[in-house]
Amino acid sequence: MNSYSKSIEAFSRAIEVIPGGVNSPVRSCKSVGENPVFIASAHGAYINDIDGNSYIDYVGSWGPMILGHTHPKVIEALCNCAQQGTSFGAPTLWETQMAELICSMMPHIESVRMVNSGTEATMSALRLARGYTKRDKVIKFEGCYHGHHDSFLIQAGSGALTLSTPNSPGVTASTAKDTIVAQFNDFESVHNAFRLYGEDIAAIIVEPIPGNMGVVVPNRKFLQQLREICDIYEALLIFDEVMTGFRVAQGGAQELYDIVPDITTLGKIIGGGLPVGAYGGKKHLMDNLSPQGPIYQAGTLSGNPLAMTAGYTTLSTIKNNPHFYTELEEKSILLVEGIRENIKKTGVAAVCNRVGSMFTLFFTDSSEIKTYQDVCTCDTKKYAAFYSFSRDNGIYLAPSQFEAAFISIAHSTQDIERTIEANYNALMYLKNL
């Protein structure tokens, strides 16, 4: 059994000066009934806490660490960059070369604006869509998360087509009225929204592969129908690829499913572990942003040299390895098929969804997880017990049933085999509770 005494003490100290003791809510481990572990270091596929415990890491800083932690090329590039300066508030060549690389790897992006977070990217993309179309309403999907901007912290009203309501204090009713909530993988709910509000809808924003309610596999036809209805009503299609961009394929989910969005938002991997975000699309659309056009968006630290260097080095490393995604897929298949075999052996009621190197183990009696309603059938108490057992046995997972797990290129076959064995033991523990 691992000891967590130093982490418990550190959390008690943090809670005195930081709201809830954490700077992002899920880190508190509140939903799994645990205290968080405080991290001291990480390397490759492993993360180490201040009590000296080591874990095989499947959080990966919530997705960015696709190369693994402290990749030598990224660290070397960061050290060299920091010696030249960390921020200038002026144009640099780092920004241009990063934008050129993103455009070369994601062909549906011709022009890209750097920002500082995924939330900032989606917020700015939404403003661009509204400014370009001169419309106010936007469709989002139940269970999809696009950051903590007011327009996205919305829950559905009765039937999802009545006025929506805020799901956080501080979000005004007037903001909520412009957000329509539809159901993911259910095109009829989208069609109904357009029948009622079509001429007022500026955009659909969607995680093409939801990861913020756990990984839900999209129906390819559903994504294509979103593209088609946006074309019919001259609305814009925004793909939130903050999580999936460069994660599920070099060209993201839009490459995987052969869908062309109007605007793409990015984050996580493009910063190589540093704070970053971006949004991009066709040049004629992006040229509506100031100073070229009338739609305003700015950021003091946007495109800072450190984030650009870490991101550029990460993406270059991926691009220069023609076998990168093949190897990552092989590792992902090995792990998830092992977990699925464990589910069969133990008879525990669970479903493991995967797309590329993203996966989620859902504890549910349902035979499949395709919608937000399916996700809501999950047994969160069972996940909490699974999480605690896994952590005690050296496997670091998200402290929430409703999150994606991530595999990196640094995970070895031995790491994966050890994880499969630990997963079997955790499932047997649940079965015997």
Active-site residue flag, 145: yes
Q: In terms of domains, do 177 and 203 share one?
A: yes
Q: Record the pTM.
A: 0.95
How far is Cα 148 from Cα 29, in angstroms, rounded to an integer? 19
Residue after which a domain boundary falls, among 285, 304, 319? 319
Indicate the residue type of 100.
E
Q: In terms of domains, do 217 and 284 share one?
A: yes
Q: In terms of domains, do 274 and 326 share one?
A: no
Residue after which a domain boundary falls, among 287, 319, 351? 319
Map tokens 């869509």 to a residue: 129
Residue after which a domain boundary falls, among 319, 334, 368? 319
The CATH number of whichever domain residue 211 belongs to comes to 3.40.640.10
Q: Provide long-range contacts, Cβ within 8 A and 24+ apart, for 295-299.
A: 295/127, 295/128, 295/131, 295/132, 297/113, 297/115, 297/124, 297/127, 297/128, 299/114, 299/115, 299/116, 299/120
Active-site residue flag, 296: no
How far is Cα 353 from Cα 340, in angstroms, rounded to an integer? 9
Spell out the per-residue pLDDT of the chain, length 433, in tens: 688 999 999 999 999 999 999 999 899 999 999 999 999 999 999 999 999 999 999 999 999 999 999 999 999 999 999 999 999 999 999 999 999 999 999 989 999 999 999 999 999 999 999 999 999 999 999 989 898 876 776 664 333 333 455 666 777 777 778 899 999 999 999 999 999 999 999 999 999 999 999 999 999 999 999 999 999 999 999 999 999 999 999 999 999 999 999 999 999 999 999 999 999 999 999 999 999 999 999 999 999 999 999 999 999 999 999 999 999 999 999 999 999 999 999 999 999 999 999 999 999 999 999 999 999 999 999 999 999 999 999 999 999 999 999 999 999 999 999 999 999 999 999 999 8
Q: In terms of domains, do 204 and 173 share one?
A: yes
Helices (H), 17-136: 72-82, 93-105, 118-133
Q: In terms of domains, do 400 and 297 share one?
A: no
What 3-state DSSP class applies to 312?
helix
Active-site residue flag, 240: yes
Find the catalytic residue in 140, 268, 331, 370.
Answer: 268
What is the domain count for the chain?
A: 2
Q: In terms of domains, do 138 and 284 share one?
A: yes
Q: In terms of domains, do 218 and 346 share one?
A: no
Q: In terms of domains, do 156 and 117 share one?
A: yes
The CATH number of whichever domain residue 9 belongs to comes to 3.90.1150.10
User: Could you tell me the residue range of the domain that residue 392 belongs to?
Assistant: 5-70+322-431
Find the catalytic residue in 49, 240, 374, 415.
Answer: 240
Q: In terms of domains, do 162 and 181 share one?
A: yes
Q: In terms of domains, do 175 and 80 share one?
A: yes
Q: In terms of domains, do 392 and 275 share one?
A: no
Q: In terms of domains, do 164 and 272 share one?
A: yes
Find the catalytic residue in 4, 132, 145, 396.
Answer: 145
